[in-house]
Amino acid sequence: MADQDALGASLRIAGSGLESQSVRLRVISENIANAQSTASVPGGDPYTRQTITFENALDRATGASLVKVKDIGRDAAPYSVEQDPGNPAADENGFVKLPNVDILVELADLREANRSYEANLQVAKQSSDLMNQTVALLKDV
């Protein structure tokens, strides 16, 4: 029956959303954790901010419009530089390159990702619930 196909598809779609947002949360967490991570060698590059892009994946068999992670890349924005001669990562002039991570941006993104995750979860719960309602018609017939 088409109902179950459509609802099953919606559950898979919501599942793909949950997966994708989970990866996004992981990426953001790594950015936050490494916001201060400088290079291990003098004058070297620090942690580079990671970015994530999604893409729409059309499942031809069911027509389901899934989402998936297209790519996890590196932010090409320049590093900020500080004067800190005592730092092990300082170059010969005493400059230290710091990660191109802005904590405030990451925190806002984290909130967004959480919100998206919760939204997908709500969709998944409802799809499951609607399927149960249909089956429940068979009870006390």
Partner 1 sequence: MNDVYLFELSSQRTAYLSARQTLIAGNVANANTPAYKALDLKPFSAVLQQASIDMATTNPAHLTPTAQELDPPIARENGDEYATVSGNSVDVEGEMVKLGEVNRDFGMATGVKKIFRQMFMQALK
Q: Does 90 contact partner 1 by CB under 8 A?
A: no
Is residue 122 close enough to count as binding partner 1 by CB under 8 A?
yes
Exactly one of 27, 28, 39, 67 binds partner 1 (CB under 8 A); that residue is 67
Ramachandran angles phi, psi of 88, nearest 5° = -60, -20
**In terms of C-beta density within 10 A (0-12 exposed, 13-18 middle, 19 or more buried), how is residue 21 classed?**
buried
3-state secondary structure 78-124: CCEEEECCCCCCCCCCCEEEECCCCHHHHHHHHHHHHHHHHHHHHHH
Tokens 């017939």 correspond to: 141
At 138, which amino acid appears? L
Task: Please say which residue, 11 or 98, places its beta carbon nearer to partner 1.
Answer: 11
Q: Should residue 13 be labelled a site residue for partner 1 when binding is judged by CB under 8 A? A: yes
* 110 forms part of the interface with partner 1 (CB under 8 A): no
Query: Which position among 30, 54, 110, 114 is part of the footprint of partner 1 (CB under 8 A)?
Result: 54
Residue 123 binding partner 1, by CB under 8 A: yes
- Cα–Cα distance measured from residue 51 to residue 109, given in angstroms and rounded to the nearest whole number: 11
Minimum separation from the CB atom of position 46 to partner 1 (A): 27
Dihedral angle, C-alpha 118, 123, 124, 128, nearest 10 °: 140
Query: Is 119 a residue that touches partner 1 (CB under 8 A)?
Result: yes
Kindly list the residues in this chain that would bind partner 1 in the complex (CB under 8 A): 1-7, 9-11, 13-14, 16-17, 20, 24, 53-56, 63-67, 115-116, 119-120, 122-124, 126-127, 129-130, 133-134, 136-137, 141
